[in-house]
Amino acid sequence: MAGTTGSSAFDLYRPAEEHEALRDAVRGLAEAKIAPFAAAVDEEARFPQEALDALVGSDLHAIHVPEEYGGAGADALATVIVIEEVARVCASSSLIPAVNKLGSLPVVLSGSDDLKRTYLTPLAAGDAMFSYCLSEPDAGSDAGGMKTRAVRDGDAYVLNGVKRWITNAGVSEYYTVMAVTDPDKRTKGISAFVVEKSDEGVSFGAPEKKLGIKGSPTREVYLDNVRIPASRIIGEEGTGFATAMKTLDHTRITIAAQALGIAQGALDYAKGYVQERKQFGKPIGDFQGVQFMLADMAMKLEAARQLTYAAAARSERVSQGSAKEDLTFFGAAAKCYASDAAMEITTDAVQLLGGYGYTRDYPLERMMRDAKITQIYEGTNQVQRVVMARNLP
């Protein structure tokens, strides 16, 4: 799919016709096969298997995978649209395409041809999912402080350590794991590897009991003398941290997309409600105070969408070899702004429903809870502001 055009920060980013056709298809699929299960997935804190089946059945679970490995070869904006439309009805389900990209992008960016064939092909076919293992109990925002070790032993590496906050852990078959190969070099001594769930010594902690995105399991990953072939290293020794940061430049945009979808779902529901709910003899949507709230919500959402699509356009150009794009700034800005907007929009949507918004009989309290994590994972918004300040365009 063709990417958006334009290079000015003031360009208006409009999806091409093929992107809008994709949006229509994903929205139809999401409303028919994912939305009916969203409340139960949240209430029962269970993995959204129905969503995975629907996404795999329509080849939407990992559309970023290049065509040579059996994928759709979709551009960054197409991936954003898929995540956005799924998140509009179920944030937990949107983490299937989002985390498949996060987990596999290091292989796409830095892996050998053999590694790409081995792991991207089953991902594209829907036979496996991919997760990303960077954070640790004592290394969150300071990822360079990780303690997981990978020691070379002949034609293998032996990994030991604990990874925390791993999305879709236990469900995914494959894991990109960052580990220290040279402790004296700090970030330049970190390397990246592919670990399989079936590798001896891999185990998982209990699922975290979370505020939101309850349908996406978040667990610790334990690596106890996990011996893997040396061929599973992603890139050269010592390049893992650089690969991890390049990955986040691209995938923070997918979190912005998730935030957009959650916010859009909340706004859509609130708009419908205020036209039906009557007080003082007329729909509450006729009151100026309510109208102003809706106007502010829509304004914030559209600003977030434009910034996110602009970041996606830069992500695509960087993927095509452009060295002139300020992707680090735009990726951080899109993630930060869209997630802040989603939190504000969902909070206001709950307010518009009054007491009903506070109950589980309506989806807005779930959307509000789900929105919160977008301000936290893939780098807190405080960290995003540090990143932006260091990379001002």
- Quick one: pLDDT at residue 5? 37
pLDDT digits (tens, 9 = 90+) for 127-136: 999 999 999 9
Q: What are phi and psi of 143, to 5 degrees?
A: -65, -25
Contact 134, 222 (CB under 8 A): no
Local structure of residue 331 (DSSP, 8 states): H
Q: Which carries the bigger pLDDT value, residue 145 or residue 171?
A: 171
pLDDT digits (tens, 9 = 90+) for 152-168: 999 999 999 999 999 99
pLDDT digits (tens, 9 = 90+) for 308-333: 999 999 999 999 998 778 999 999 99
What would the CATH number be for the domain defined by 131-240?
2.40.110.10
What does the domain layout of the chain look like in residue ranges? 17-129, 131-240, 241-390
- Quick one: pLDDT at residue 200? 98
Contact 336, 384 (CB under 8 A): yes
CATH architecture assignment, domain 241-390: Up-down Bundle (1.20)
Residues 28-43, buried b or exposed e (16+ Cβ, 10 A)?
A: ebbeebbbebbeebbe
What's the whole-model pTM score? Answer: 0.95
Query: Does 378 participate in catalysis according to the annotation?
Result: yes
What would the CATH number be for the domain defined by 17-129?
1.10.540.10
Q: Is the pLDDT of residue 4 over 60?
A: no
Q: What is the mean pLDDT of the chain?
A: 95
Q: Is the pLDDT of residue 13 over 80?
A: no
Q: Is the pLDDT of residue 185 over 90?
A: yes
Q: Residue 129 belongs to what H/E stretch?
A: none
Q: What are phi and psi of 83, to 5 degrees?
A: -65, -45
At 292, is the pLDDT very low, low, confident or very high (cuts 50, 70, 90)?
very high
Q: Determine the average pLDDT of the residues in 134-163.
A: 95
Contact 131, 174 (CB under 8 A): yes
